[in-house]
Structure 1
Amino acid sequence: MRKIFYYQCRRLLCNKLFWGLLAVTLWYSREVLYGTVIRGVCNTAPFSPWSFGYYLTLLLPFLCAAELFFLSFYTSPAERRVEVLASATPVSPRHYSFSRWGALAVGTGLLTLLILLMAGAFYARMFRWDSFGELLAPAVFVLVPALLFFLGAGWFLGNLRHVLLYPLIALPFLCAYLPLPRWLDPVGGRFFLTYPLELGVLDPGFSLPPDVLWGRVGLSTLGLLLLFLTRKKRG
């Protein structure tokens, strides 16, 4: 089990695609921090939950695209043939599946951790600020529902037909420009740009209106449901 997991991790992390995504994500992260976040968002401090949340929404499409690219390794026709061969070995199919999910979590988690560390280093260097606990709520709000949703949608569509994954990769980038209602937007960038102004308070604390909160809960639930349906279909 451990050897299979290490193999799957090497397969993702030693891939040129991973290093390309890593380089682009880190470069864009630096551009956003020093070009946008440093000025603050909606009259809030650069290290406020609102500015930090907006930073994450700009990086989120890259994280979702990376997650879907990693997932494409496991829904390709070649991988299906490997699964048939693996089923004839003493390795448990459940263990083999867990090793792949673990490797996918490591790849996506590593990219996520690096952009969080970039922000932390930026705040510590520029503002001598280290109250990172205040940033936990916007991080969960932005990252968890979207990554769960695109994981479930990617796994579902990729198992229907592998090629359907590639249009899905463009969706988080399109959502940043489409005029979606704030409760429906999986990226949530416009929420961070507009809602603090609606509160009418200078540098307000982080809070969520009910429609946005339930929208994120629904997005997470849908992602988990698609994962469950795909797993049940695959047996």
Structure 2
Amino acid sequence: MTKSSVVPDRRVLLVEDDASIARFIDMALEDQGVDLTVCGDVESALTVLQERPVGLVITDLMLPGLSGYDLVDRLHSEPALLAGAKLVIFSAGVNLDKQARLEGRGIWRILRKPASVSQLQACVLDAFLGNDVAPVPAADVPIEPAACGSESEDGDAILAYFGGDAGLFRAYRAKCLVQFEHDLAAGDAALQSGDLAALQRLSHSLATVFRTLGWAEDGRVAKQLEALAAAGDAGASATAWAQLRTRLLG
């Protein structure tokens, strides 16, 4: 897709700090005629909004520094920044308490991670065609343990998240395998420095990536690590990270 093929008012701002998740969204929207800008934190997202208008903002809630909640509050208090753009929450673990916290903040739609290619494409299409009917966000469901990387598991993931496109799945998986080297370094550094908040964010993102790939057992371990890091349990977090390290190295 060339920039000349992008409809000018189809600008999408994605606020997401995980490279693999951002890459999945980029691949999902590649042929949708949108101009996608990715920001890894709230500060850079606000800079983009101050520089030029967009038609759609998609933001995670768990971000480094200021959170997605902070971004939502800022856009609610300064509507000129949003300039009429639709605001979408894209996050895992969006329960009733989190929905209540977001109520009255101008949220147009909530997408639960991991979302499928078709869900992301439908969200963008609805946003730019003026369809204001937003689906009720699904409640979180537990990740069932399963053998990782099996052919049947790949097939389930391809159908669930990639619209049956095996080629797209393989291309995404290849990019994730490259990114895992960076995730390894980031996790090791967070554990060594005692930055459990960074380890929590990393494991939160990896849980989504693993589920998108169909690696349910790895997703379960990542969610366990996220909870341990959030609780400040450094010892148990180190044990759980060692389990994830093995998979990332593989």
- Please say whether Structure 1 and Structure 2 have the same fold, judged by a TM-score greater than 0.5: no
Q: TM-score, normalised by structure 2?
A: 0.28
Q: Structure 1 or 2: larger strand share?
A: 2
Whichever of the two has the greater Rg, that structure is 1
Q: Structure 1 or 2: larger helix share?
A: 1
